[in-house]
Amino acid sequence: MTIIFNKAESLFHLQMEKTSYVIKLYDHAYLMHVYWGKKIRAHNVGWFCETPYRRRQLIEGRKVDDVKFTSEYWPFEYPSYGTSDFRPPAVKAGSENGTMITDLRYVKHRILKGKPLIDALPSTYVENENEAETLEIELYDSLIGLSVFLYYTVYNTFDVITRHAVFANKGTQSLTLHKALSASIDFKDGHFEMLQLSGTTLRERHVVKRKLAEGLMQIDSTRGISSHIHNPFIALLRDGATEHMGEVYGLSLVYSGNFVASAHVDQYFSARVQIGINPFNFLWVLEPGKTFSTPEAVMVYSDEGLNGLSHKYHDLYRKRLCRGIYRDRVRPVLVNNWEATYFDFDHDKIISMAKKAKESGIELFVLDDGWFGSRNNDQSSLGDWHENTCKLPKGLKGLADEINALGLKFGLWFEPEAVSPDSELYRKHPDWCISVPGRKRTEWRNQLVLDLARKEVCDYIIHSVATVLNSANIEYVKWDMNRRLTEMASASLPPERQMEFSHRYILGLYNVLEELTSRFPNVLFENCASGGGRFDPGMLYYFPQTWTSDNTDAVCRLKIQYGTSICYPLIATCAHVSAIPNHQVLRSTPMKMRGPVAMSGNMGYELDLTNLTEYESNEVMEQVALYKEMRSLVQFGRFYRLKSPFDGNQTAWMVVSDDKREFVVWFFRVMVEAEEAYFNLRLAGIDAELDYICLDNGMVYSGDALLNMGLTLPWQNGDHMSLMMRFSAV
Ligand code: DGJ
């Protein structure tokens, strides 16, 4: 890894293990994008961005100060609007005269060791400064006094580029930021398919692909959370790119609020691809002397298809985005009582379930919603974080102690950002929720959202959660959030700053999470937002795992987990075995399918273990024992998607250990046919030179045969919807 400034050609060349990213300083003024792709040599490449001279009509000015110079045809590194580039800008800044034109010129640059943290925002990090280098380039608009610092980091061991921008008002007038994106890339052509991870509650992160065409193609969130609807991630696929081959580009945003990711194709079929905070309903007042930081964009190029792209995201996010003691630890197998009891439980019921969990080999018991205030349904008590002594006469401490005495850890559910109108908290502080004076307060699941832009509200959340965590031996927290934000406004902000609210909410949330996760470093925090409504890299920085979806149906989970794996590692992807008929879609799937689907993630249970037949209880016991044997492989290995559930009836994926000596293959089919046609499932990522024994059938296979001939499937006729095979090198 290295960052080179080639003075003779005015080129910045960011070289990673397999990737190059090249920027040209044109006419000592503008930053032009030259190249992002497979690694190239560092010299004689600057001509690449100068194609406009040769191609386009009406180009007369070559010098940027020439009045005839037009920006329209140029590949800008961080484009602005108003001086003849009519494509979507990365920045829109307003000055006191009411105009919104910027002309950002190069001032200076530095190459720094390591990677600076981003003010008040989560980001990927280094553990020592030799792990990475950072290029800082300052651009300046001298008329309005606005500096923009662009940061690019490249790592030694991760083939990724991270980018963000910092705005500094160095002038004397107040400025307004209307758009301040994290990254913008001008590709010479737009011959791509855009891949997005879209869906809704219970159908999160489905893979959707669209071919780029002239105009704007965009996904975003305006809901105050990154959302179930679109994930803050897009990939661009060159023609013919598959899971295993071809060129793909990924942009992922380390952010949990309103975002935008887009691809714009202009009249010459050039593509401008961008990601950052959604400019919709966003406006930031930047007073003289103040700065504003954008979230971080993480950019990955792979010429080994989507699997290659995923490996780079998984490695970075697992090792240098997640933090804390659980980053490198296998995660406990848990049982959660939500689908087992919903609100209807008491101390004895929980203890009976915990006993059964212990017998099954489960390691952590999680008490979900309903343990606090007078909450017996979803109509009250959010905000009143003290135990309900009718349900739990021995209190949380009594319950946790008994569960610990059984040999299990104890974990607890919270929804700290929410408040029920029927709660002590609301009666005391009706003004603490997000609302616009005079307007109705939209309720969602009978609840409102606390105003995290206010310090006293954040302090209350920190204090109330910390008090509970100190009151008993609570070793895991499920942090839920079951709403979108509406009537977004804060009583703490003056009128001209109300459009800052959605970003300030996220800053408040990050501040709360930073405080609580550092005060309780031994607690395993799990992120949840009605399932996967905030499954994003911003939350991953604080919470090393996420409840992937409230949909626990094994068939639906194939698509949800497949899509999620494009950007996020398996260890972060919680997957539970639940009861049948499934509570969300009423489908019944065999335990032999529910188990393997959950085992291809961070596995747990979400059913009443005391309600199972002896046969089912034995199956659970066997599954837990098996998962414990293979979990370090699943949680820390390399994941390969082999067959997509979006392409038909069959799904296949596998995980390979780093040393390639162990692997597991999963194969699922939703509909089972008699006398089906055979096909060969070619494996990936294993060592062609090694022989492997299948631990499930005792047969020995050569690595090269598995890679080239593959496994002949379906394995057997009958009712098998799934097959899980473990292999070990002999
Ligand atoms: C939504 C979560 O996604 C569920 O797992 C559960 O915790 C409920 N909220 C509880 O209200």
Task: Give per-residue pLDDT as tens, 663-684.
Answer: 999 999 998 887 888 889 999 9
Ligand 1 is surrounded, with C-beta below 6 A, by 338, 368-369, 413, 480, 482, 528, 530-531, 547, 550
Q: Which two three-digit tokens encode residue 448?
A: 């409102």
pLDDT digits (tens, 9 = 90+) for 2-17: 999 999 999 999 999 9
Q: Is residue 33's pLDDT more than 70?
A: yes
Share of the chain above pLDDT 70, in %: 97
Q: Which residues pair with 110 in a beta bridge?
A: 136
Cα 480 to Cα 461: distance, rounded to the nearest angstrom: 13
The tally of CA atoms less than 13 A away on the side-chain side of residue 78 is 33
**Residue of 339, 480, 605 with the most ligand 1 atoms within 8 Å of its CB, for mutation:** 480
Cβ contacts of residue 211 below 8 Å, gap of 6+? 192, 193, 194
The single residue listed with the structure tokens 């009666």 is 427
CB distance 40 to 14 below 8 Å: no
Q: Are strands 691-694 and 700-702 parallel, antiparallel or unpaired?
A: antiparallel
**Residue of 203, 371, 479, 482 with the most ligand 1 atoms within 8 Å of its CB, for mutation:** 482
Q: What's the pLDDT at 55? A: 59
Query: What three-state secondary structure class fits 704?
Result: helix
Q: C-alpha distances in angstroms, 11 versus 45, 112, 184, 664? A: 8, 17, 18, 46
Query: What three-state secondary structure class fits 42?
Result: coil
Smallest CA separation from ligand 1 atom 9, residue: 530
| Ligand 1 centre distance from Cα of residue 343 (Å) | 11
What atom in ligand 1 is closest to the CA of residue 550?
Answer: 3
Convert 677-706 to b/e letters by CB count within 10 Å (16 or more is b): eeeebbbbbbbeebebebeeeeeebebeeb
Q: What's the pLDDT at 245? A: 98
Cβ contacts of residue 449 below 8 Å, gap of 6+? 224, 417, 418, 419, 433, 434, 483, 485
How confident is the model over 427-442, as a mean pLDDT?
A: 96
| Ligand 1 centre distance from Cα of residue 447 (Å) | 14
Smallest CA separation from ligand 1 atom 1, residue: 530
Smallest CA separation from ligand 1 atom 2, residue: 530
Q: What's the pLDDT at 565? A: 98
Residue of 159, 550, 553, 608 marked active site: 550
Q: What's the pLDDT at 637? A: 98
Q: What's the pLDDT at 675? A: 80
Is this model's pTM higher than 0.95 or not?
yes
Q: Is 550 annotated in the active site?
A: yes
Cα 13 to Cα 4: distance, rounded to the nearest angstrom: 5
**CA angle (346, 352, 354) in 5-degree steps:** 100
pLDDT digits (tens, 9 = 90+) for 347-388: 999 999 999 999 999 999 999 999 999 999 999 999 999 999
How confident is the model over 604-626, as a mean pLDDT?
A: 97
Q: What's the pLDDT at 49? A: 65
CB distance 411 to 357 below 8 Å: no
Rounded CA Rg of the chain: 27
Q: Is residue 604's pLDDT more than 60?
A: yes
Q: What's the pLDDT at 595? A: 97
| Ligand 1 centre distance from Cα of residue 403 (Å) | 22
The single residue listed with the structure tokens 């209807």 is 344
Cα 596 to Cα 4: distance, rounded to the nearest angstrom: 48
Please, which pLDDT band fits residue 545 given cuts at 50, 70 and 90?
Answer: very high
Q: What's the pLDDT at 714? A: 77
User: What value does the mean pLDDT of the chain take?
Assistant: 96
Which stretches does DSSP call E strand in 591-660? Answer: 602-606, 638-643, 650-656
Q: Is 480 annotated in the active site?
A: yes
Query: What three-state secondary structure class fits 611?
Result: helix
Cα 320 to Cα 314: distance, rounded to the nearest angstrom: 10
Convert 487-510 to b/e letters by CB count within 10 Å (16 or more is b): ebbbeebeeeebbbbbbbbbbbbb
| Ligand 1 centre distance from Cα of residue 288 (Å) | 44
Q: What's the pLDDT at 2? A: 93
- Return the sign of the alpha-carbon dihedral for residues 415, 420, 426, 431: positive
| Ligand 1 centre distance from Cα of residue 530 (Å) | 6
DSSP 437: T
Backbone angles phi, psi at 415, to 5 degrees: -135, 70
Residue of 85, 159, 451, 480 marked active site: 480
The full length of the chain comes to 730
Please, which pLDDT band fits residue 53 given cuts at 50, 70 and 90?
Answer: low
CB distance 276 to 219 below 8 Å: no
| Helices 554-565 and 591-599, packing angle to 10 deg | 20
Q: Which two three-digit tokens encode residue 280?
A: 């919709």
- Return the sign of the alpha-carbon dihedral for residues 449, 455, 456, 458: positive
pLDDT digits (tens, 9 = 90+) for 498-538: 999 999 999 999 999 999 999 999 999 999 999 999 999 99
Q: C-alpha distances in angstroms, 451 versus 459, 506, 507, 585, 669? A: 11, 10, 11, 35, 46
Q: C-alpha distances in angstroms, 553 versus 360, 392, 587, 594, 596? A: 21, 31, 7, 8, 12
Query: What three-state secondary structure class fits 527?
Result: strand
| Ligand 1 centre distance from Cα of residue 615 (Å) | 29
Q: Is residue 144's pLDDT more than 70?
A: yes
How confident is the model over 406-425, as a mean pLDDT?
A: 98
Q: Which two three-digit tokens encode residue 295?
A: 């979230």
**Residue of 338, 344, 484, 545 with the most ligand 1 atoms within 8 Å of its CB, for mutation:** 338
Smallest CA separation from ligand 1 atom 11, residue: 369
DSSP 495: G
CB distance 117 to 123 below 8 Å: yes
Q: Which two three-digit tokens encode residue 680?
A: 């060969």
| Ligand 1 centre distance from Cα of residue 465 (Å) | 18
How confident is the model over 335-344, as a mean pLDDT?
A: 98
Please, which pLDDT band fits residue 113 given cuts at 50, 70 and 90?
Answer: very high
Backbone angles phi, psi at 562, to 5 degrees: -60, -50
How confident is the model over 417-442, as a mean pLDDT?
A: 97
**Residue of 530, 543, 552, 560 with the most ligand 1 atoms within 8 Å of its CB, for mutation:** 530
